[in-house]
Amino acid sequence: MLEVYSEYDWFWFLICAVAAAAISIWFYPFRSSSYSSPFYLHVKRILRFLTLFTLFCLLLNPLLKYKKKEVLKPTIVFYVDDSESVFLSDSISASKLKAKVDNLNKQLEENFDTKVFYFDGNVKDTSGGFKGKSTDLSATIKHANIFLKEKNPAAVCVFSDGVYTKGMQPTYTPANFQAPVFTVGMGSTIPVSDIAIKEVNTNSIAYLNNSFAVKVMMQQQGFSNQEIRLQIYDAEKMVQSRKIKVPNATLFEEEFILEAKTPGVRKYSVKITPLQNELSKENNNFDFYVEVLDNRQKIALVYKSPHPDVNALFASLENNKNYECSVFASSDFISKSNSTYDLIIGHQFPSNDREASWLKETQKNNSSFWFVLGSQIDADRLHTFLPDIKIQRKTQAFNEVQAFPSNDFNAFLFTPELLAEQINWPPLRAPFGNINFSNPMQVQSMQSVQKINSGQPLMAFTNTSELKYAYLLAEGIWRWRVQNLKMQGNSELFDEWVLKNTQYLLAREKKQRLKVYTSKEIYDEEESIRFLGELYDQSYNAVKESEIIVKFKNEKGKLFSIRLTWDGVQYSANAGVLPSGYYTFLGSVPSMPELKQKEGGFLVYPLQAEQIQIQANHSELESWAHKNNGSFLPFKNADQLLDSINLHANNSEWIREKTNLEKILQLEWLLYLLVGFLGLEWFLRKWEGGF
C-alpha cells in the first residue's frame, strides 16, 4: 500500500493543479490554430498539464510511504579472544584457532548470516595478532546487544580462555538479545608451576635526594620453600638485589627502599631470576615509572569556615605532582603560618580589616591569589579589602547562576568536552548586584540566569606586574564536582577547570606564543595519544591557519612525527596507540621559524595483567553459557559446536514488514516519465508542423 505525505497542507497541491492548468490552457487555448485538430490539442494540453503539475508538486518535496517485506536469515556472531593470555598455557597455535573458526563459519554460512569479531580490551573487526594487553569479556555481550538489535539472532559463540582483566563479570552482564551463548574454552585449567610479579605499589612521584618505598606483590604456584633472587634496576643499572625464600602462601610481598638521585622520569624494573620448570618467564619482569621532581610549588587553601567547596578544590589539587597543597582556617593561617606560598586560594577570605591588612602585607611575597567570594563576604565593604573589585548590592538576595563561557577569554583554553558540560553544571550562589573592576580584567565566564547571560562576570583574572589574581564571584563549586562524578563517573572535567586556573595563576614566565602538550601525562598501552597545541601572533591573538609539527621519540631513540591542525578550538592530532615507555617531544611551527621549540614528555604505562594469570578459567565460561541457555565446550571438542547450534539455536527465518519513507524527488522513473511527456508533446507539435 502506497501513501503520499508532505510537510505542506494539501491546499498547496490544489494551487499547483490550478497553476499548471492555467499555464497549459494559456499555452494551448481552446481556439485552436488552423492546422491543429481538437483531439491533438487536448492531448498536448494534458501532457503539458501533467508535466507542469508534476514539477510544481516536486517543489513541495512529497514523501512516498510504503511497506516492504524483508526476509532475515538467522545471525550467528563469533567473538575470538585476541589477548596475550590465550596461548600462554596451551600449545594451540593462532593459525589453528583461526582455521577452526573459519571452518565453522563456512559450514554455517549456508543457513545463517555469520560474522567474526576479535576482542581484547575492546571488540574489533580483525585480529591484532593475539597481543592484547587486557581482556574484557563483558564487551562481547555489550557489542552483541547493539550488533544484533536489528537482526534475527540465532547464537553468540565466544572462543576464550575465560580470563578477564577489565570490565564486568560476563555472567552478570545483561544480554538484550534472545539467543543462546556458546563458549569454547582455550588454554589449560591444569595447575602449572609458575612464579610471577603481580603488581608493584609505589608513588608515581618522588623528590630529589629523598627515599621512597617500593612494594612488590608476587604470586606463586609449585615453588613453596624455594629460594628466589629479586632484583631492582634503575634503567639498565641494578640498584638492589636480595634472596627471598618463597612462602607456602600463594600471594606474598617484599618491600624495598630506593633513593631518588636523578631528576626526571625514571624507568625501574623488578626482575625474578627464572627458575627451572617455570611455565612462563615473561611474567618474571615488571616495569614501573617514577618521576623524580626537583621541587614543588606551594599552595595554601585558606577558608573562613568549613565548606564543601574547600574539599572540592583540595581533592583536585592534592594528587597533582607539581603542587604541595595545605589547608588552613583563616585565623590559624594568619597567626601561625610562617611559610611563603606561590598561590593562596582564599575561600570567603579576606572578610575583615585584620585579614585585609595581612593580605596587603603578604602581597610583598610575590604570591598569586585566587579569591572565592560568597555569602560570608561583606559585599558592601569588599572594595576596602580588595580594591580591584566593587559590588553594588541592590538587595541582600543571592542569585542562582551558571557559567556562560566568554568568547573573548584567550589566556588559556579548556577542552571542548569541559566547555560543553560546564554550561549545564548546577548553579552557584552569587551576590545580586552590579560588579565593577578598577583594573582591566580578563573574564573567563559570565553569570547566566536561566540560560540567559546576565552581563555580570563569574570568573575573572587580573595581572599586577608578574603576579596574577583570580576572582570567582560565587560559591557552590562542590556541586560541579558532584555533577561531573555523576555524569561521567570521574571528576576529570572539574579537575581540568581547577588545575588550568591554578597553572595560569602560578605561571611566572612571559606568555608563550607556542604551546604543545598531550591531553594526559600518563596513558595506558591501549589508549590513543592525543597531542594539543596553541599558537599566537605577536599581539597574542590566536593563529588558526597554520600547522604545528611535533617530533617525538621513545627511550630507544626511535623518532616519530605528527602534524597538528586546527580543529575549531585548538590544534590537535591523534598519534594512536604507542608501546610502553617514556616519550619526549619537540613542537615547532615551520611557517614561524622565529618561535622557540616547545619541549615536553608523556608516559605510556605497560599493561602486564595478561601475563600474570596463566591458568585458564573455564568455570566462568561454563557459568556464562548456562545462564544464557547455551553450552560450554573445550577447544578440542569445538567441532561439536555445530551440533549444539543446530539443537539449541534459532534456525528459522524472520519475515518482517518494514515501513520505508522515500522522497519522490529521488525516484529515477519519474525523470523518465517527465522526459516521456515532454518528448511526446514535442513529437505531436512537430508532426502537425508546429514549432
pLDDT score of 476: 94
* pLDDT tens by residue, 535-594: 988 877 889 999 999 999 998 889 999 999 998 888 999 999 898 889 999 999 999 988
Please say whether the dihedral angle defined by the alpha carbons of residues 141, 146, 147 and 151, taken in this order, is positive or negative: positive
Give the HSE-up count for residue 594: Cα atoms under 13 Å, Cβ half-sphere: 4
Domain annotation for the chain: domains and CATH numbers = 2-68+661-687 (no CATH), 74-189+615-652 (3.40.50.410), 194-292 (2.60.40.10), 297-506 (3.40.50.880), 514-606 (2.60.40.1930)
Q: Any bridge partners for residue 301, and if so which?
A: 327, 345
Contacts of 412 (CB under 8 A, 6+ apart): 500, 503, 504, 534
Give the pLDDT confidence score for residue 1 in this predicted structure: 60
Beta strands in 526-611 (DSSP E): 528-535, 548-553, 559-566, 571-577, 581-588, 598-605
Among residues 49, 44, 50, 46, the alpha carbon closest in space to that of 685 is found at 44
Residue 42: partners with Cβ closer than 8 Å, 6 or more residues away: none
At 510 the pLDDT is 58
Cell numbers found for residue 627: 545462564
Using DSSP's 3-state secondary structure scheme, residue 595 falls into: coil
Written in H, E and C, the secondary structure of 140-189 is HHHHHHHHCCCCEEEEEEEEECCCCCCCCCHHHCCCCCCCCEEEEECCCC
How far from each other are the two terminal CA atoms of the chain, in whole angstroms?
43
Q: Determine the pLDDT at residue 633.
A: 92
The answer to whether the beta carbons of residues 105 and 116 sit under 8 Å apart is: yes
pLDDT of residue 279: 75
pLDDT at 590: 93
Rounded Cα–Cα distance for residues 324 and 321 (Å): 8
pLDDT of residue 9: 82
CA 392: distance to chain centroid?
43
Say how far apart CA 24 and CA 41 lie, in whole Å.
11
Q: Is the bond preceding 579 in cis, omega lying within 30 degrees of 0?
A: no
Distances (CA, A) of 306 to 313, 376, 483: 13, 11, 21
Q: How far apart are CA 548 and CA 534, in angstroms?
A: 9
- pLDDT of the residue at 434: 83
Cα dist from 668 to 453, 501, 661, 665, whole Å: 51, 59, 15, 8
CB 134 within 8 A of CB 120: yes
**Please, what are the averages of pLDDT over each run of 10 residues along the chain (691 residues)?**
75 88 84 64 86 87 78 90 76 80 88 91 87 88 91 92 87 89 86 85 83 90 90 91 91 92 88 84 87 82 92 91 86 76 88 76 78 79 74 78 89 87 92 81 90 88 76 93 92 93 79 86 88 88 91 92 91 92 93 89 82 80 92 90 85 74 80 86 76 56
Element (H, E) at 85: none
383, exposed or middle or buried, with CB in 10 Å at 0-12, 13-18, 19+?
Answer: middle
What is the predicted pLDDT for the residue at 90?
64
pLDDT (0 to 100) of residue 549: 96
Residue with cell 508533446: 681
Give the three-state DSSP class for 58: helix
CA atoms within 13 A on the CB side of 206: 24
Grid cell 573573548 is found at: 408
CA distance 46 to 33: 17
Would you say 516 and 532 are in contact if contact means Cβ atoms under 8 Å apart?
yes
**Other residues' Cβ atoms within 10 Å of the Cβ of residue 526:** 15
For strands 548-553 and 559-566, give the pairing. Answer: antiparallel
Residue 451, all three cell numbers: 540560560
Tell me what pLDDT residue 240 has.
94
Alpha carbon distance 377, 379 (integer Å): 6
Please state, in angstroms and rounded to a whole number, the distance separating the CA atoms of residues 57 and 543. 49
